[in-house]
A and B are shown apart, each in its own frame.
Chain A
Amino acid sequence: MAAYLGRRILQSLLILVGISIVTFVLLYMLPADPAAQVAGRSASPAMIANVRHELGLDQPIYKQYFRYAGGLLQGNLGRSYLERTEVTTLIASRFPATLQLMIGGVICELALGLTIGIIAALRRDSRVDQILMVTMFVTVSSPQFVLGIILLYVFAFELGWFPIGGYGGLRHLVLPSLTLGILGAGWYGRMMRSSMLDVLRQDYIRTARAKGLSRITIVLGHALPNAVLPIIAMIGIDIGNFMGGFVVVESVFGWPGIGNLTWLAIQRIDIPIIMGVTVISACAIVIGNLLADIIVPAIDPRIKLK
């Protein structure tokens, strides 16, 4: 176990280093010039050169990278070019908003996805199952912005139940969470259905049935806990993948989170922010995968670590 953990953590660290290098090189090769952006539209070439020197952009790329990586090791993501603030401060200030969305989204997708998956599995091959399967196909085929705008139109504009975008209390959180949740529910629902079907075929379920246990006890007490295991692994992976989705959802709903910060930074070529968000999202993905690999064998002793 310890050896396995050690190897996986080392692997994860290497991947993070790799990602920071790839992103850095990618941003370095950009056709756009961040120095010109910072200096402003009416800046003379001399002023731009001056800014470039100030930001350290005139140094060779490996020197720039080592300076960045040195900061990274101390938890320092550098300073934003345009905001003149530490990137860590900026991201931290936006984090609560995005965390709310993430929690809301995960709750929605699990609640919807697991329910749909269980019902579809229990009513296998019936009309209900077919309708649910088609619904899940539709949700995984919908872009976030379309679903977001439609939800806004129906529930905020027409029915007036929720505010039309913006950040605030629980009422503001409902529609963006639903957007993330409905889309994720399609994936979870399909996984849950096939996982449930696998479990329902097992001998111990037949035994439970033979003992005369009620259907509810069998489903909730025996089948569900086993069927849900692969789903737990999925959550870890999913949380990392949320990051890209936030840019879109936050832009549709005017949500002042990390996605919004990233989008602004991309438009203004504020490289330290872009780097910071990419590195942190990659961390989230890597840690999510790592947790999935650690938690699932911990709950289910049948799964052996390699």
Chain B
Amino acid sequence: MTTPSVTAERPPSTRGKSRVSALLRALARRKLALFGLAVIAVMVLLAAAAPLVAPYPYDQQLADGISLDGAPLPPDMKYLLGTDLLGRDLLSRLIYGARTSLVIGVVANGASVMIGSFIGIVAGFFGRWLGAALMRFTDLMMAFPAQLLAILLAALFSPSLWIVALVIAMVNWVQVARIVYTETRSLARRDFVEAERGLGAGMPRILLRHILPHLFPTLLVFGTLGISTSVLLEATLSYLGIGVQPPIPSWGNIISENQSYFGSAPWLVFFPGIAIILLALSFNLVGDALRDILDPMQKGRH
């Protein structure tokens, strides 16, 4: 074995504070990432404080929220983003819709990262027939058209918020599993893990102290990018009518409720559409910046 440089093989410090603040500073230097972070922060605040900041209840059919001939109202001073077909305030519905998107995005993606890393770590670390079997199963899932599978599952199980999140997780874990598997496998063969094993360290210790900290950057990147994918998938399922069901507002179901009127009331499609794109874009921007910062392999390639 050639002499590997000690510094390159050293596991990263698990003392996190300075690393986290370094990460944040690196993020803040990138304009696009900063924009993404700001949008996410605003949406999270709005969603958390929805009852306080929404001008009207999301499900109230306002008496003056509809024109005399029964058409929705365009944006004006009273209803900032206009009203929908039933005379409900669109802005309030969008603010409550942010809750749906964020909750599903975070829960679904959290679950898919957990499932994916569990399978990836087990397969990569314990190798042998169990690893082979798990990875063949992952290959199999990769050959499934993901969106079709999600549509199928969502349509066939009676939809609820949690089912939708579960369906998204069941479709999205595959990518995570692949990457985590590859990284775990290469980590498990590195010298410092061998050394630790030689010193008599048990599996749990090696996993917790040496494998997981190294996987952290990857998981953070996927944990961010994946929220974008989950938000988009939720919107699509809800648009098709098999995701989040009314009366719970979701940006996707707001569009599908109103799309037959998009010719005369385009704001009912545009504003929720922009909301979906903004949120998905923000997670993509932050995730991409994180990948740039955390992955030294990529440095200098762009």
Cross-chain contact B145 with A141 (CB below 8 angstroms): no
Which residues of chain A in 281-301 are interfacial with respect to chain B, using CB atoms and an 8 Å cutoff? 281-282, 285-286, 289
Given A149-B273, A198-B301, A247-B151; A281-B145 close (CB under 8 Å): yes
Q: Does B183 contact A (CB under 8 A)?
A: no
Question: Which residues on the A side are within 8 Å of B266 (C-beta)?
Answer: 153
A97 within 8 A of B: no
The stretch from A41-49, A203-211, A214-222, A266-274 touching chain B is A266-274
> Residues of B within 8 Å of A, CB-based: how many?
44
Determine if A31 and B158 form an interchain contact, defined as CB atoms under 8 angstroms apart.
yes
Task: Give the interface segment out of A50-58, A72-80, A132-140, A167-175.
Answer: A132-140
Q: Mask for B236-277, Cβ within 8 A of A = 1, else 0?
A: 100110000000000010010001001100100110010011
Main secondary structure of the interface of B (DSSP, over half): helix
Whether A194 touches B301, Cβ cut-off 8 Å, given contacts A143-B276, A244-B151, A248-B147, is yes
Stretch at the interface among A15-23, A63-71, A98-106, A108-116: A15-23
B152 at interface by CB-CB < 8 Å: yes
Within 8 A of A (CB), among B128-163: 136-137, 139-140, 143-153, 155-158
Say if the beta carbon of A88 comes within 8 Å of chain B.
no
Please state if B148 and A137 are interface contacts (CB–CB under 8 Å).
no
- Chain A: interface size category: 35 or more
Whether A31 contacts B156 in the complex (CB less than 8 A), given A248-B147, A282-B144, comes out as yes
In the bound complex, do residue A194 and residue B302 qualify as a contact, i.e. CB atoms below 8 Å apart? yes
Q: Establish whether residues A153 and B146, one from each chain, have CB atoms under 8 Å apart when the complex forms.
A: no
What residues on A are CB-neighbors of B236 within 8 Å?
143-145, 248
Given the complex of chains A and B, what is the CA–CA distance between A57 and B155 in angstroms?
Answer: 21
Chain B residues with CB under 8 Å of A150's CB are: 269-270, 273
Contact residue among A138, A152, A251 (Cβ-Cβ distance under 8 Å from B277): A138
Residue of B nearest to A32 (CB): B156
Tell me which residues across on chain B come within 8 A of A26, comparing CB atoms.
Answer: 152-153
